[in-house]
Amino acid sequence: MAEEEKQQRGKGLKDIDPTIFWVSAIISAILIVWGAIATDHFGGIIDNVFNFLVGSFGWLYLLFTMVIFILVIILGFSKFGKIRLGKPGEEPEYSTRSWIAMLFSAGMGIGLVFWGVAEPIMHYAAPPFGIEAGTDAAALEAGASSFFHWGLHPWALYAFFGLMLAYFSFRRGLPQLPSSTLYPLLGKKGVKGGWGKVFNILAVFATLFGIATSLGLGAQQINSGLNELVGMPVSNNMASIIVVVITFAFIISAVTGIDKGIKILSNINITIGGILLAFVIIFGPTVFILSYTIEATGEYINQFLTRSFYTGSVTGDPWPGWWTIFYWAWWIAWTPFVGGFIARISRGRTIREFVVGVVLVPALVGIVWFGTMGGTALHLEMFEGIDISGPVHDDMAVAFFITLQQLPLGAILSVLATILISTFFITSADSGTFVMGMLTSKGKLNPSTQVKVTWGVIEGLIAAILLLAGGLGALQTASIAGAFPFMLFVIASMFGIFKALNNDYEMMEKGEFIGDIDLDY
C-alpha cells in the first residue's frame, strides 16, 4: 500500500488534467465575475433556475435521496457487506477514531455548530404539517425535523458516492475520480471520454462553490462570535479578513498532508466538540435535554417515511421546498467533495464497516447534538422567558453564542465554540482543497503541494470577493442548482456499482480476486 501511495503522489502542476482544470477555471471565473459585478442580475437568474428545479423536480430530489438511503442499507447489510474497499487482507489505513473524526469534520461539523440552535428555533416559530407555531407540538416537531435534515439521509448520500469511489479506486485500481464510477456502463472509452470529463467537471464546480460558500458563511459566524466575545464589528469587511486568515491556516494544513494536518485537526475537533456537548448536557437543563432528545427521536422515527416523501403538493405548503428539498439539493451538491474525501480515507474498510461508520454513527451524533443544543435553546425560550427566536431571526450566526452565554461559564463556552468553529472550518476547507487537487490531478491520491495551494488560494479569493460584493448567497444557490445534473450522473452510476459488486462477489466465492482495471491514464 505504501508503494502504491508513493506512486500516486503528485509531482507538481504538470499532473493537472488540462481539460478538467481549464474548463472548470474559466467557467468558474465567468460566474464569479458576473456574481461580483452584477450581483442582483446573477442572483435573480440563479434564483429562477433553482425555483424551477425545486418546483418541477422537487419530487425527484426526495425520491432519489430515499432510494439512495435504501441502496446504502442493502449494500451494507447484504452479502456485499463483506467486500473490502481494497485488496484482499488489506487493513484500514486509519484508526476508527481518526477515521470517524475526519469524515465527520469534513461532512458537516461546522454546519452542526451553525444550525444546532438556529434550525430547531426556526421550526418552532414556523413548523410544517399545519402545526401551530410556538406550541408544545411545534417544539417536538422542531427537533424531529432537525434530526431528519441532518440524520440518515445526507450521510447516505455521502456514503453511496464515497463507497463507489473507494471501491473502483482501492479495489479495482481506477483513478479516484467520479468518472470511474461509470466504468461498468461506459467502459474505458466512456470513462476517459466526454461524458466522464463532464461528470468530473461538475464535481469540481460543486466542490469549489461549496467550499467557497462555506468559507464565507463560516467567516460570518466567527465574526459574530468575536463580536459577542470582544466586540469586534460585524461586517463583510471583517468577515473577508477572517476568510484570508482561515485560508492561510487551511493551506498550511493542506500542505502538511492528511496525517499531519487533517487527521490531527479532526481529532481536536471531536475532543473540543465532546467537551462542549458534555458541559451543556451536565450544566444545562439535563433532564429536559435527555427527555426531549428521546421524544423527538421517536417522532423522527414515527414520521420517517412521511417526511421522506412530503412535497406539500396537496396543501400547497412551501415548507418542503424551503427546507427538505433545499437541504437534499445542498447535500447532493456537497456529495463530490465529502464523498470524495470519505472515499480517500476509507481504504481497507469492508463495505459493512463503511456503511456503519459513515451513515449510522454520524447520524447518531447529529441527533445528540441537535437534541442538546436545540433542546437547551427551546427550554430557554419556552420555560425561562429568554428570547432566542429574536436573535435567530436577526442573525442566525449569533444565536448559538447567546444560548451558551445563558449557562454557567458561558464566556468560556463561547471561546470554546469559536475555537471549534475555526478548527471545523479549517478542516472542512482543507479536505475540500485535497479533493479539488485529486479531481484536477487525474485522481492522484496525494495531489502535489502546488495544486493544493493553487486551489486553496482560489477558494479564499472567491469567498472574500463575493462576501464584499454581497453575492455569496447567489453562489450557494448556484452550487445547489448545479447538483441537479450531478444527481443524474449518480443515478446512472448506481446501476453499475451493483453489477460490479455482483461480479466481485461471485469471484470471491470461488476464492479468486477480481483484479485491477487498467485505463492507462
Q: In this predicted model, what pLDDT tens digit does every residue of 470-503 receive, in sequence order?
A: 766 776 777 778 788 889 889 989 888 988 898 8
Q: Which pLDDT score, from 0 to 100, does residue 472 have?
A: 67
Q: Residues near 259 by Cβ (< 8 Å), separated by ≥ 6?
A: none
| Whether residue 431 has pLDDT greater than 50 | yes
Interaxial angle between packed helices 39-77 and 483-509, expressed in degrees from 0 to 180 and rounded to the nearest 10: 20
What mean pLDDT is predicted for residues 57-64? 94
| Residue 508, Cβ density class (10 Å: 0-12 exposed, 13-18 middle, ≥19 buried) | middle
Q: Model pTM?
A: 0.91
Q: Which pLDDT score, from 0 to 100, does residue 278 have?
A: 95
| Whether residue 509 has pLDDT greater than 80 | yes
What mean pLDDT is predicted for residues 64-71? 96
Candidates 145, 147, 150; CA nearest to 320 is 145
HEC assignment per residue over 176-210: CCHHHHHHHHHHHHHHHCHHHHHHHHHHHHHHHHH
Q: Residues near 17 by Cβ (< 8 Å), separated by ≥ 6?
A: 200, 440, 441, 442
Sign of the CA dihedral 436, 441, 445, 447?
A: negative
231: cell is 466586540
Confidence of residue 3 (pLDDT cuts 50, 70, 90): very low
With H, G, I as helix, E, B as strand and everything else as coil, classify residue 519: coil
Q: Residues near 436 by Cβ (< 8 Å), separated by ≥ 6?
A: 204, 207, 208, 211, 451, 452, 455, 459
Q: Are 156 and 64 in contact (CB under 8 A)?
A: no
Confidence of residue 518 (pLDDT cuts 50, 70, 90): low
513: cell is 480476486
Q: Are 50 and 330 in contact (CB under 8 A)?
A: no
247: cell is 485560508
User: Which residue is listed with cell 455548530?
Assistant: 113
| Whether residue 143 has pLDDT greater than 90 | yes
Mean pLDDT, all residues of the chain: 87
Q: Under CATH, to which class is 2-509 assigned?
A: mainly alpha
Interaxial angle between packed helices 410-440 and 236-257, expressed in degrees from 0 to 180 and rounded to the nearest 10: 60
Query: Which runs of consecutive H residues, i.e. helices, occur in 231-285?
Result: 236-257, 263-283
What mean pLDDT is predicted for residues 85-91? 89
12 DSSP 8-state letter: S
DSSP string, 73-116: HHHHHSGGGG-BSSSTTPPPSS-HHHHHHHHHHHHTHHHHHHHT
How far, in Å, CA of 323 to CA of 502, rounded? Answer: 37
Q: Tell me the CA distances in angstroms from 438 to 207, 258, 501, one per residue in order.
A: 11, 13, 24
Q: Residues near 187 by Cβ (< 8 Å), separated by ≥ 6?
A: none
421: cell is 468553529
| Whether residue 114 has pLDDT greater than 60 | yes
How far, in Å, CA of 203 to CA of 186, rounded? Answer: 18
Q: Are 413 and 276 in contact (CB under 8 A)?
A: yes
What mean pLDDT is predicted for residues 221-228? 81
Instruction: Mark 265-289 as b/e (b = at least 16 C-beta within 10 Å).
Output: bbbbbbebbeebbebbbeebbeeeb
How far, in Å, CA of 59 to CA of 439, rounded? Answer: 30
